[in-house]
């Protein structure tokens, strides 16, 4: 499929909706975290890759100071006045876009009005960050459409994160917006959540391996409350460790060698939570180095250790995710597999040799259906590039 094939249906729908063609388009990808889980709020490292699923927006400016937004996925329209931006209760999908306009205005910029059409193929709410992709796509669109070119990618990603924190009301870290903005074809991104430095790391064996995401189709309400509890437990651990290492300000500062000296003094379950974070942080660093050295075998081992630690020490796995990961570990062509995201449901991520992908899907499906009577969903992807402009033909295409 060429680039225009994917854009044409959006142009066509835009013309039907707004009676004229769009002049501009953007795309921003979803993401999967390869390793480094629950390390972000401990100021540590995460290692995500952008995936070949994305949000696309096509748009044209208008003179009225308002956003007229049409969602193709929801077949709904919203008008947002730029002079009085408020979160929508019944069409909450529009908040991810309105929130970005709101943050731009609060930062002293002056986005104008426009008509926009939004479309996406990132599964919604399965932890692949369709929300950040919406924000990043909207941010890139506004920057281009309203000549705000002095805003860097990095500042724009931070602004998109603020939109999710302040306007949508979700207390997310910076990983999702950074990778959606800064991802690179066939690369993963090592992000230091304290300094916000980010380093691209090439994926090895191009054309031979794929990232395979398996959605357990389990969504648990528990995720939010357990997530908050883990954050508190990490804080408690930090306070206990500060007594022995007064200079630390986050669990990220505790290196494995330091931890081994004092581990016996920390009571459970705080000890287990800290142990996960401290070693997971090291695994994210070692994982990036392993990929850089083409060492998929070691990377796979680190993924396995990460899952075991999330299951036994951080206790955020569930029987469904454990079943999928166990089945994956048993497939010869699978280099590594673990749960990805906050846990308690959602997806697993695996690195699989291309010749084994069909067998991999079959094996996981059989095991999962047998144990839980639920069909899993798969996404097979290469590491994709971050947000970019779409080429929109200036001649109206014949439909």
In whole angstroms, the minimum distance from the beta carbon of 219 to Mg ion comes to 13
* Residue 73 in contact with ligand ADP, rule: CB under 6 A: yes
Q: Respond yes or no on whether the N-terminal peptide bond of residue 367 is cis (omega within 30° of 0).
A: no
Residues in the chain: 399
* C-alpha radius of gyration, the chain, whole number: 22
| Choice between 48 and 336, CB closer to Mg ion | 48
Positions in 104-133 near ligand ADP (CB under 6 A): 118-120, 122, 124-131
Residue range at the interface with ligand ADP (CB under 6 A); choices 71-79, 150-158, 239-247, 260-268: 71-79
| Choice between 138 and 198, CB closer to ligand ADP | 138
Please give the DSSP secondary-structure letter assigned to residue 204. S
Establish whether 176 is a catalytic residue: yes
3-state secondary structure of 246: coil
Q: Which one from 5, 19, 90, 176 is the annotated catalytic residue?
A: 176
Of all residues in this chain, which one has the CB nearest to ligand ADP in the complex? Answer: 120
CB 323 within 8 A of CB 371: yes
Tell me how far apart the alpha carbons of residues 251 and 247 are, in angstroms, rounded to a whole number. Answer: 11
* Residue 71 in contact with ligand ADP, rule: CB under 6 A: yes
In whole angstroms, the minimum distance from the beta carbon of 138 to Mg ion comes to 14
Q: Directed axis angle between helix 95-106 and helix 153-162, to 10°?
A: 120
| Choice between 125 and 224, CB closer to ligand ADP | 125
Among 79, 88, 92, 294, binds ligand ADP (CB under 6 A): 92
Which residue, chain included where needed, has tokens 């699923």?
53
* Residue 100 in contact with ligand ADP, rule: CB under 6 A: no
Tell me how far apart the alpha carbons of residues 151 and 197 are, in angstroms, rounded to a whole number. Answer: 17
* Residue 96 in contact with ligand ADP, rule: CB under 6 A: yes
In whole angstroms, the minimum distance from the beta carbon of 180 to Mg ion comes to 11
| Choice between 113 and 341, CB closer to ligand ADP | 341
Residue 31: in which H helix or E strand, if any? strand 24-35
Structure tokens at 150: 């002095």
CB 33 within 8 A of CB 48: yes
List, by residue number, the catalytic residues. Answer: 176
| Residue ranges binding ligand ADP (CB under 6 A) | 55, 71, 73-74, 92-93, 96, 118-120, 122, 124-131, 134
């Amino acid at each position: 499929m060429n680039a225009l094939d994917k854009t044409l249906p959006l142009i066509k729908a835009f013309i039907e909706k707004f009676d004229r063609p769009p002049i501009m388009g953007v795309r921003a990808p979803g993401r999967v975290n390869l390793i480094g889980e629950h390390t972000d709020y401990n100021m540590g490292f995460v290692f995500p890759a952008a995936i070949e699923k994305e949000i696309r927006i096509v748009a044209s400016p208008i003179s009225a100071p308002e956003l007229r937004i049409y969602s193709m996925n929801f077949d709904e329209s919203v008008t947002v006045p730029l002079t009085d931006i408020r979160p929508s209760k019944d069409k909450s999908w529009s908040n991810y876009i309105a929130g970005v306009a709101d943050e731009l205005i609060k930062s002293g910029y002056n986005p104008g009005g426009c008509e926009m059409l939004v479309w996406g193929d990132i599964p919604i709410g399965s932890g692949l960050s369709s929300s950040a992709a919406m924000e990043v796509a909207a941010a890139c669109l506004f920057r281009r459409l309203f000549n705000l070119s002095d805003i860097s990618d990095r500042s724009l990603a931070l602004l998109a994160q603020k939109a999710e924190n302040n306007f949508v009301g979700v207390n997310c870290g910076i990983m999702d917006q950074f990778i959606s903005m800064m991802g690179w074809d066939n690369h993963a991104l090592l992000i230091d959540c304290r300094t916000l430095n980010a380093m691209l790391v090439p994926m090895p064996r191009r054309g031979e391996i794929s990232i395979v995401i398996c959605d357990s189709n389990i969504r648990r309400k528990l995720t939010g409350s357990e997530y908050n509890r883990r954050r508190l437990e990490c804080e408690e651990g930090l306070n206990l460790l500060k007594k022995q290492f007064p200079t630390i300000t986050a669990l990220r500062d505790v290196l494995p060698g330091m931890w081994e000296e004092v581990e016996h003094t920390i009571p459970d379950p705080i000890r287990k939570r800290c142990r996960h974070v401290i070693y997971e942080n090291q695994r994210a660093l070692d994982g990036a180095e392993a990929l850089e050295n083409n060492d998929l075998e070691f990377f796979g081992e680190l993924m396995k250790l990460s899952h075991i630690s999330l299951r036994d020490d951080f206790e955020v796995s569930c029987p469904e995710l454990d079943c999928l990961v166990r089945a994956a570990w048993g497939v010869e062509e699978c280099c590594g597999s673990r749960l990805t995201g906050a846990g308690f449901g959602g997806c697993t991520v695996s690195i699989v040799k291309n010749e084994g992908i069909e067998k991999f899907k079959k094996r996981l499906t059989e095991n999962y259906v047998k144990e839980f009577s639920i069909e899993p969903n798969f996404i097979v992807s290469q590491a994709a590039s971050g947000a970019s402009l779409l080429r929109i033909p200036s001649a109206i295409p014949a439909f």
